[in-house]
Amino acid sequence: MPLHKRKPFPLADPPKDLDPNELVYQVRFTKEIFRDYQEYLNRLNLYRQRLWTCKVTGKINLTYEEALVSEHNATERVQQFPSELVPRVLNMIQYSTLNLTDLINEIHTNLQKNLYEGIELHAKKGESVCACRIIEVMKDGEIAQCKVGWLDKLRQVTDVTVVSVEDLVRKKPPFSRSFLKAFIRESTCRISPWLVHEKLAKKHGILTDQLAGQNRVIDISRDSKKSGTKNKLGNQNFRPHQKKRKTENGHESENQVEEPIIYPIDDLLVKPSADDPNYADRPSPSTDFQVPMDCVGDLLMVWNFFTSFGRLLHLWPFSLEDFENAITHKDSELMLILESHSAILKFLIRDGGDYFTAIQNKRQKLKVKLTNWANYLCHFLEMRNKPELSDHIPIIKRGHYGLLDIHVKLGILRELVAEALITSAIRDKLDDCIEQKKILLARRREEVKTNKEQYLQKEGDHHTKEVNPERMLVNGKRNYVNSTIGSVPKYHNGDLKANGKVQSVYRKLIMENGKLPGRIEAKDDENQDKISINEQREHLEREIEKLSIRTNCIGKDRSYNRYWFFRREGRLFVESLDSSKWGYYSTKEELDALIGSLNEKGVRERDLKRQLEKYYVKISTALQKRSKDIAQKALMDEGELRRSARVRSQPRCSPAMAFHKYTNKWKEKPKQSKRHKKGHTLNLIFVEGTSP
């Protein structure tokens, strides 16, 4: 059966009390039966994803049906394995502790060097070399001979003679390594050590409880490994560590001792134990999106593109909330929609690619305006020639873009973004960011190395100075103070002397400030050095972050849900495994509860927790800022509503309608200063969107 995440995947059990006349849903290639249509669709969608692995060949990134076909074909090839060699190869496989590659090489080399009955090769027959099959290996002292059967074109034996070993010729191996790999995978049920299937072992007489005919080296205990000795097992009986357990009948049975689990392991294998901490309940993410659930992914992708490459597009950034409101609005004259489409169409024309050629062939002017952008958008859809989008060209030409379905709007933007991503300008931008990021990373490594050397040098100089041997810890830092607060240490500068008055003053200073007199100024200098180093490090990190245009997934939880954080959006998004469901966390309390619910015994949740803790300050700050902005908007809405009730007019200035007020500030020409008039270029500052 195909493997899912490198593990066997159990098929669904048939429904209980199934009526022969009942209408059900059946998966064609697994014969699974479902009563519920949604369960049937979920299972079918899972099978269609490229998450499956062929158990026999090891091929990955297959659909379930492709993996089934691959296993079937590989199994048929394995059936062609020479029956005479099957017992010998299985003996080499049984209880071997080698990895798959080394085991294949060992068997392949063994079969190449040694002669076995049943293998086919070539031998000298007169003055020619003909194909033959070894029938019997005969050895008389040091002289070895073989009884071979000569083969015709149909691989049938026509004659039998005895030839010497020197007359045998190997033109090619008995089978390829890939063929042997498929045979090993098909014949075994476990690795490390390898175990042959029980039925196959009984059929060919392979021992299941001992090693026969092989001198294998197996480390049984850690003590033997530490001492460098190895237990060599020849024809001795080999049994793994076992313990006895009484059955229901009172008889004792032997069971293999379970090895201690070394965490982290796959999250789905983690089981609750008594020593687990009290994990917090994982909060349910919010799902109150205005767009349909299956459109959230496209919405985030398009918005992130506009935010990351806004400077190249000459498009002023806008919030995700405004973009979502604009997409769902039925008005065809929204400035945010007009500007975003016009900006990307102008960008494609400036690039001089396929779209530029298509516009030239139609003899259109190469100037996109807010009044004619719909015509250029129709030309683009005709060029892409996708029926699900091009069928809506008449509606767009009539000026009713806002009436299109949300799926169509985001589908059009998705195609525009896909075309823009392959332009030379985007590629050049990415190449520049990569090169600059490499330089900054090298600079950061150099600074870390320099700071480390300076720290070690200061530590060396510090230990060479004469200090008071009696020390204590104050506020977690080592200060040179007598362990008894009543006695005063004597410094070389003679500022303090051991008399009663000085002792009382000294004691008071320590209790109030927790600092040593005479050392405060020096310590402040050290703090200043540390602050300047931290500021430089933070500045360098910010510069590196600005160059990280691509948004990467923060991590996955035990159910393979992916977590996304966008720098200009104060929400932490959650995407399901099949991308069919989305949600988000919007408060710091939800973030804390999420971190507290992650089990570090699992590989995925451990990595996710570390990433969330690494960027905790950044994410929590963004969440708090968004919550504060929402509260302020609510107050403004309430105030605007009260004023509008008094004057009987609609609250056009409501923050919820902010997307109506969007203006593309890149179009505004900045005032030329004296410095600008002399030939200097005035650049607008725009920070690219990044992710942690």
CATH number at residue 139: 2.30.30.140
Say whether both 74 and 92 belong to one domain: no
Say whether both 395 and 319 belong to one domain: yes
Cα(622)–Cα(570) distance, integer angstroms: 5
Q: What is the pLDDT of residue 6?
A: 76
The three-state DSSP-derived secondary structure of 359-423 is HHHCCCCCCCCCCCHHHHHHHHHHHHCCHHHHCCHHHHHCCCHHHCCHHHHHHHHHHHHHHHHCC
Say whether both 72 and 129 belong to one domain: no
How many Cβ atoms are within 10 Å of 107's Cβ, its own excluded? 22
Beta strands in 260-385 (DSSP E): none
Say whether both 100 and 65 belong to one domain: no
What are phi and psi for residue 162, nearest 5 degrees? -110, 130
Over residues 92-100, the mean pLDDT reads 83
Say whether both 35 and 54 belong to one domain: yes
Instruction: Tell me what the pLDDT averaged over the chain comes to.
Output: 76
pLDDT at 496 over 70: no
Say whether both 305 and 413 belong to one domain: yes
| pLDDT confidence band for 463 (50 / 70 / 90) | low
Say whether both 111 and 17 belong to one domain: no
Over residues 187-192, the mean pLDDT reads 76
Span of 64-68, 261-265, 458-462 with lowest mean pLDDT? 458-462
Cα(264)–Cα(555) distance, integer angstroms: 15
Cβ atoms of residues 673 and 687 within 8 Å: no
What are phi and psi for residue 58, nearest 5 degrees? 85, 10
Residue 283: both structure tokens together? 């909060």
What is the number of structural domains in the chain?
4
Q: What is the pLDDT of residue 320?
A: 93
Q: How do beta strands 7-8 and 562-565 pair? A: unpaired
- Residue finishing a domain among 149, 173, 204: 204
| Burial class of residue 2 (count of CB atoms within 10 Å of its CB; 0-12, 13-18, 19+) | buried
Q: What is the pLDDT of residue 498?
A: 40
pTM check: above 0.85: no
Over residues 525-552, the mean pLDDT reads 69
- Which has more pLDDT, 489 or 201? 201
Over residues 658-685, the mean pLDDT reads 55
Evaluated on CA atoms 373, 374, 378, 381, the torsion sign reads: positive
**What's the pLDDT tens digit per position in 106-127?**
887 887 777 777 778 888 888 8
| pLDDT confidence band for 608 (50 / 70 / 90) | very high
Say whether both 168 and 195 belong to one domain: yes
Q: Is residue 437 part of a domain?
A: no
Q: Is residue 380 part of a domain?
A: yes
Q: What is the pLDDT of residue 328?
A: 93
pLDDT at 55 over 90: no
pLDDT at 234 over 90: no
The closest of 420, 437, 433 to 380, measured between CA atoms, is 420
Q: What is the pLDDT of residue 490?
A: 39
- Residue finishing a domain among 387, 422, 457: 422
- Residue finishing a domain among 79, 106, 131: 79
Tell me the residue range of the domain where 177 lies: 81-204
Q: Is residue 350 part of a domain?
A: yes
HSE at residue 687, side-chain half, CA atoms within 13 A, is 10
- Which has more pLDDT, 559 or 95? 559
Say whether both 9 and 41 belong to one domain: yes
